Amino acid sequence: MFFTGCIITFFTDFARLNYHFTGRGECLPWIERFFPFASRAGGLYNASDMVKRIIHKRARRRHLSHIGLFGLVILGSCVLCRADKIVLKEGQTLTGEIILEKETQLYVDIGVTVLTIPKDKILRYEYAEATETKDADVSDANTPAAGAGSPQSPASGPDRMYKTADLKKTTIEKCVDAVSEAVVKISSPGGSGSGFFLNEDGYLITNYHVIERETKIEVTVFQKAKTGFERKTFKNIKIEAINPFVDLALLKVEDLGDTKAKSVYLGDIGGIKAGEDVFAIGNPLGLERTVTNGVISATNRAFSGLIYIQTNADINPGNSGGPLFNLAGEVIGVTNMGYIFSGGLGFAIPVNYVKHFIENRDAFIYDKDNPNSGYRYLQPDRRRNKGKPDFLKST
């Protein structure tokens, strides 16, 4: 009996494999041929019936397991469709549930385990239920690596056209390399100034006094090329909103075409301190892409009922409307005035005023037909020939 059991086990395993690969129990006739003595009348189980029962029982189990596996795949696919997404700086993409977010790392449940991912390894990440994409450093929008940090609240859209992030501080060289393309030159018949792009749609910020009473405005963009910087001038500029009391203006370049505008992150004045290193980029006296650096001399200098950031970074005519950056590459102010004959006295509008102006831009909408908007009438050229006109000579 022991020997018979071993033989039946052998053929059972063989039949199981044969059933697995062919779907049929083709070896059953062989078992009946070798064990014709096995019958229910003799008190023994029929070998063929026993093997069939074993095979079909295991087939049912396997069928149920396949159904369960298929259900898990479908469920997993549904979960993955709504999963949080993490993109690493090396190019890998992870999907899972972000169960905890700390200052320096993320905890991600990928189903079989929980991963701890340092934020300095993350390029960006986004939540499934939120449409906001969170960027990890200032260089993400401007290609060169300028440092890494932990995203705070990047946002873009019809209500908030700017982006913010809690970025890690780095060197001035890396910051300038990352953000310089976002700074533009603004020209008009009355003079020139600076500005900076808020997003890729062509919206930019400058000072009101740079475009005051002007309607013919040009914006010059400086884009990196193999041999340096390439200048592109755009003339279809729309004035979206103005606030003369805070000296801010929101413009839009409407003829960008295929040109991709580089943009900046807006910071928060709540985190700045006196003595902190800052730098400005602008076009003082027409000298394009000039970088000046210094420190914050005071965070709350009052003029005419408004608060300004005081800095010893050189601010000259032409810098007006340009950005004042911290060492994380975030805009913390808009430069708007300085004392030419007293070096080291420059002032910038705090970035929180800029955010308030953008978020309430409907209240400051520009209307060219409103007489309060003003208009600059240009004087015609003087007569070069001061003699009597021909039609008067005959009289």
Residue 79, pLDDT above cutoff 70: no
Architecture of domain 84-131: Roll (2.30)
Q: What is the DSSP-derived secondary structure letter of residue 226?
A: T
Q: Give the range with max mean pLDDT: 168-172, 270-274, 282-286, 324-328.
A: 324-328
If you average pLDDT over residues 362-372, what whole number do you get? 81
pLDDT of the residue at 309: 97
Same fold, 84-131 and 174-262: no
pLDDT of the residue at 343: 73
SS3 257: coil
pLDDT of the residue at 370: 72
CA pair distance 100, 109, nearest whole angstrom: 9
- pTM score, whole prediction: 0.60
Q: Please pick, among 139, 188, 297, 320, the residue that the annotation labels catalytic.
A: 320
Architecture of domain 174-262: Beta Barrel (2.40)
Residue 38, pLDDT above cutoff 70: no
pLDDT of the residue at 44: 44
pLDDT of the residue at 388: 78
> What would the CATH number be for the domain defined by 265-359?
2.40.10.10
State in Å, rounded, how far the first CA of the chain is from the last one.
Answer: 145
If you average pLDDT over residues 31-40, what whole number do you get? 46
CA pair distance 220, 318, nearest whole angstrom: 13
Alpha helix stretches (DSSP H) within the chain:
2-22, 28-34, 47-81, 172-179, 351-359, 390-393
Nearest to 345 by CA among 381, 375, 376, 308: 308
Would you call 297 a catalytic residue per the annotation? no
The 10s digit of each residue's pLDDT in 284-305 is 988 999 999 999 999 999 998 9
Tell me what percent of the residues of the chain surpass a pLDDT of 70.
Answer: 68
- Contact partners, residue 119, CB within 8 Å, separation at least 6: 103, 104, 105, 106, 136, 148, 149, 150, 151
Identify the weakest region by mean pLDDT among 31-40, 273-282, 328-337. 31-40
Would you call 209 a catalytic residue per the annotation? yes
Task: Give the count of beta carbons closer than 10 Å to the beta carbon of residue 357.
Answer: 21
Query: Tokens for 249?
Result: 């203006």
CA pair distance 326, 351, nearest whole angstrom: 12
Q: Please pick, among 180, 187, 209, 263, the residue that the annotation labels catalytic.
A: 209
Residue 66 binned pLDDT confidence (cut-offs 50, 70, 90) = low
Would you call 247 a catalytic residue per the annotation? yes
Name the average pLDDT for the chain: 78
Residue 92, pLDDT above cutoff 60: yes
Domain ranges of the chain: 2-80, 84-131, 174-262, 265-359
Identify the weakest region by mean pLDDT among 43-52, 86-95, 342-351, 366-375. 43-52
Q: Please pick, among 135, 247, 297, 314, the residue that the annotation labels catalytic.
A: 247
